[in-house]
Amino acid sequence: DQQVKQNSPSLSVQEGRISILNCDYTNSMFDYFLWYKKYPAEGPTFLISISSIKDKNEDGRFTVFLNKSAKHLSLHIVPSQPGDSAVYFCAARAFYSGGGADGLTFGKGTHLIIQP
Amino acid sequence: ETGVTQTPRHLVMGMTNKKSLKCEQHLGHNAMYWYKQSAKKPLELMFVYNFKEQTENNSVPSRFSPECPNSSHLFLHLHTLQPEDSALYLCASSQDPGTSGGGSYNEQFFGPGTRLTVL
């Protein structure tokens, strides 16, 4: 049972336009969400994150929106550039009070293709 | 360069072989992780080490055996694997959120992965 879902395996966007990548989750204990970007033959690279106490976080061309009631988050990239072509993973971490490190739960990823 | 290195990058092994994957982080982090990514599946957490102590084992078969001798190094020892164990194995590290001082959330930094093929 997937707790983090990215229902679009791929997305094609024209250069200069907005790219919107979506992610849904089912575990209401998730309190922190991250987006990672992955190029072929490389590991995932952290892009942007958001805490559950916020509904928006912005970093340059990247903005993440969180809708807790809908258990949905999205990543907006504007304007889209050719170098943004990669696989984007949504990830989440569940709240716990014991302290210490905890693993992330990932979605399957969305392959974003920016067309010139 | 994320500050996390993994060797080897590619490994082909038979089902009766014993091999080890190595991960090293140069970020001063105190938590390290092993993830597995199979074809068409999301990254799956395998093991978590916090301050060199294993804190999580996500129902991983005993043919995978982790070792964390210090906070900078993490190994994954492999023995009698099956063809379905063929996957990309990713190592990650993070700063324990309890000691970061800057908040309670941990961004994980990933290595490039080891592409494992079991024949």
**Residue B86, pLDDT score:** 96
Among B10, B108, B110, the strongest candidate for a mutation testing the A interface, having the largest count of A CBs within 10 A, is B108
Question: Mean pLDDT, to the nearest integer, of B9-28?
Answer: 94
Q: Spell out a b/e string for A36-61, using b for 16 or more CB atoms within 10 Å of the CB, else e.
A: bbbeeeebbebbbbbebeeeeeeeee
**Residue A2, pLDDT score:** 84
Q: pLDDT tens digit string along B44-100?
A: 999 988 876 777 777 899 999 999 999 899 999 999 999 999 999 999 999 876 544
Instruction: Check CB contact under 8 Å for A100 and B50.
Output: yes
Q: How far is A97 from chain B (nearest CA, A)?
A: 10
pLDDT of B43 higher than 60: yes
List, as one string, the DSSP characters of chain A.
--SEE---SEEEEETTS-EEEEEEE--TTEEEEEEEEE-TTS--EEEEEEETT-SEEEETTEEEEEETTTTEEEEEESS--GGG-EEEEEEEEE--SS-S----EE---EEEEEE-
Instruction: Check CB contact under 8 Å for B107 and A46.
Output: yes
**Residue B101, pLDDT score:** 46
DSSP state of B9: S
Asked if residue B68 lies in contact with residue B54, where contact means CB atoms within 8 angstroms, the answer is yes
Q: B33 CB near a chain A CB, below 8 Å?
A: yes
User: What are the helix and strand counts (H, E) for chain B?
Assistant: 0, 11
Q: How far is B45 from chain A (nearest CA, A)?
A: 6
Q: B66 CB near a chain A CB, below 8 Å?
A: no
Instruction: Check CB contact under 8 Å for B110 and A4.
Output: no
Please list the residues that pair with B35 across neighbouring strands: B45, B90
Q: Which residue has the higher pLDDT, A93 or B103?
A: A93
pLDDT tens-place values along chain A, 116 residues long: 789 999 999 999 999 999 999 999 999 989 899 999 999 888 999 999 999 999 999 999 999 999 999 999 999 999 999 999 999 999 998 865 455 567 889 999 999 999 99
CA geometry: angle at B83 spanning B79 and B87, to 5°?
Answer: 85
Q: Which residue has the higher pLDDT, B2 or B108?
A: B108
Query: Residue A49: CB partners within 8 Å, gap ≥ 6?
Result: A32, A33, A34, A35, A57, A64, B105, B107
**Residue A97, pLDDT score:** 47
